[in-house]
A and B are shown apart, each in its own frame.
Chain A
Amino acid sequence: MIFDIVAAVFIVAGLVFFALGVLGVLRFPDFFSRMHAAGKCDALAAILIILGFMVYVLKDFSGPSLLVALKIFFIAIFIFVASPTATHALVKTALLLGAKPWSRQEWLERRRQK
């Protein structure tokens, strides 16, 4: 019972962070700030959900369930390494190709002209 509750808390927390990340992707003004929401809220959310899965699998503790938990943990490590690498590669490429980040100064000037 207590394992179920802990697992549910982790998974719900992960889903909340995913939802906030989606909200960020929809609301932020340009590619770069969207990368912040997409690339990083996701990493934490995915890791929280995976932790929830691990707790749920370990509910009936045994050799095989420990192995499954370890396999799930490997996925978490992979996300931990792959997610920032992908984010970094996308942002660097966009800057190299000359995409201009949304600038607060320009936005303030545009608003003044209206």
Chain B
Amino acid sequence: MTAKIATFLVMLAFWVVLSGKLDAFHLTLGVLSSLLIAWFSSDLLFFGGDRRSWVRGTIGLALYLPWLLWEILLATLHVAWVAIHPRMYEVIDPQIIRFKTRLKRPISKVALAQSITLTPGTITVDIDEDEFTVFALTNSAAEGCPGSLEPRVAKALEFD
């Protein structure tokens, strides 16, 4: 029930932002369609976990994302430097690395995989149980993976 109400509120807020019209007709349409969606597919948005873990996860993500943006900026500068390097072939050294993660929850594994792919120089190829396969562009990118990303993700999303 809580999941249905939460889905309804999120959908209604999304409707109001997208429509931008606050008259009775459009709001009624929004309430009706939000109710329909909350009724049929609330388990798609809020699945598993209790209310407390959702609140903690949201706060953790909100603190994690600005730091991730900063990391992306630093890493993009690194790849940009490689791209304009005059003797580029001596700098890049594409390689596939594997490492085991100690993250348990699927959501934090996905968050780590997406973070690795977003930071330039590394692309997550596959996750098999707790083994990550990562494709790295340069030696330094390979060495810095997962680096400080993993404890940060653990702090943001790994609890209970």
A interface list, Cβ under 8 A from B: 17, 20-21, 23-24, 27-30, 32-33, 35-37, 39-41, 43-44, 47, 64, 67, 70-71, 74, 80-81, 83-85, 87-88, 91-92, 95, 101-104, 107
Contact = CB atoms under 8 A, between A and B. Distances in A.
A40 B120 contact: yes
B11 interface: no
B158 to A, nearest CB: 20
28 contacts: A20-B83, A21-B80, A24-B79, A27-B88, A28-B83, A28-B92, A29-B92, A33-B92, A39-B123, A40-B79, A41-B76, A41-B79, A44-B120, A70-B17, A80-B118, A84-B117, A84-B118, A91-B123, A91-B135, A92-B126, A95-B125, A101-B94, A101-B96, A101-B135, A102-B92, A103-B94, A104-B89, A104-B93
Given A36-B79, A104-B94, 16 more contacts: A29-B92, A32-B94, A36-B121, A36-B123, A37-B79, A37-B83, A37-B120, A41-B76, A41-B79, A41-B120, A47-B69, A67-B20, A81-B114, A91-B123, A91-B125, A92-B125
Contacts of B80: 17, 20-21, 24, 41
Interface string B64-87: 000001001101100110111000
A32 B138 CA distance: 12
Given A17-B76, A28-B88, A36 B137 contact: yes
With most chain A CB atoms within 10 A of its CB, the pick from B79, B113, B124 is B79
A37 B120 CA distance: 8
B24 interface: no
B18 interface: yes
Interface residues of B, number: 33
A23 B84 contact: yes
B89 A29 contact: yes
Contacts of A28: 83, 88, 92
A71 to B, nearest CB: 7
